[in-house]
């Protein structure tokens, strides 16, 4: 599934999407791969930095989203959304090679200062975001690993065209 609020649709429609080279630090985070602990999936590099446990969260989705989050402004100085989309594109590709059965959901949210990428395993009866993405103040989207970022870009451009 792919979904985005109107603010994110506008933001994506206004950028020229190109494949950009991710900073080495971001590539290394993904290159270290995934680890599965407590029926949750994590980027190994982020899990190693964690100081919380599964017992600190009401569900696995909350635990994963807490651990699996990247503040893009910690790695790049501009084009936060563009780098976030490229990071997610790489993340989803590596995930599809790692696990052909389970689906992860990547989430991007933006504000005036940067962007945050999170992800979690898709589970029944658990969600990080509410169903009403329009209720969010900031631009927000999600994309499941069964889709590509190219599909996301097309989805947003079609929606932007429909509203004009």
Can you tell me the mean pLDDT for 17-36? 91
Can you tell me the mean pLDDT for 21-37? 94
- Please answer whether residues 108 and 141 qualify as being in contact, where contact means their C-beta atoms are separated by less than 8 angstroms: yes
pTM: 0.92
**DSSP-assigned letters across all residues of 9-45:** HHHHHTS-----PPPHHHHHHHHT-EEEETTEEEEHH
pLDDT in tens, 128-158: 988 899 999 999 999 999 999 999 998 988 8
CB within 8 Å of 118: residues ≥ 6 apart: 65, 68, 69, 70, 106, 107, 128
* pLDDT tier for residue 164 given thresholds of 50, 70 and 90: very low
Any idea where the domains of the chain sit in the sequence?
A: 2-163
**Mean of all residue pLDDT scores within the chain:** 92
Predicted local distance difference test score (pLDDT) of residue 129: 86
Helix, strand, coil percent content, the chain, rounded in steps of 5? 45, 20, 35
Q: What DSSP designation does 90 have?
A: H
**Measured distance CA(74)–CA(150) in Å, rounded:** 25
pLDDT in tens, 74-104: 999 999 999 999 999 999 999 999 999 999 9
Can you tell me the mean pLDDT for 22-26? 94
Query: Does residue 52 carry a pLDDT above 90?
Result: no
Predicted local distance difference test score (pLDDT) of residue 163: 57
């Amino acid at each position: 599934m792919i979904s985005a609020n109107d603010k994110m649709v506008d933001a994506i429609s206004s950028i020229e999407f190109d494949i950009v080279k991710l900073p080495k630090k971001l590539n290394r985070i993904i290159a270290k791969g995934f680890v599965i602990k407590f029926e949750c999936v994590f980027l190994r590099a982020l899990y190693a930095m964690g100081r919380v446990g599964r017992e600190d969260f009401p569900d696995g989705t909350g635990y994963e989203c807490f651990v699996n989050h990247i503040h893009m402004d910690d790695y790049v100085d501009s084009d936060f959304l563009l780098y976030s989309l490229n990071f997610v594109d790489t993340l989803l590709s590596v995930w599809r090679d790692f696990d052909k059965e389970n689906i992860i959901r990547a989430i991007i949210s933006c504000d005036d200062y940067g962007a945050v990428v999170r992800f979690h395993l898709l589970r029944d009866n658990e969600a990080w975001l509410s169903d009403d993405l329009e209720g969010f103040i900031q631009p927000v989207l999600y994309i499941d690993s069964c889709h590509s970022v190219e599909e996301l870009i097309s989805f947003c451009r079609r929606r932007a065209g429909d509203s004009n």
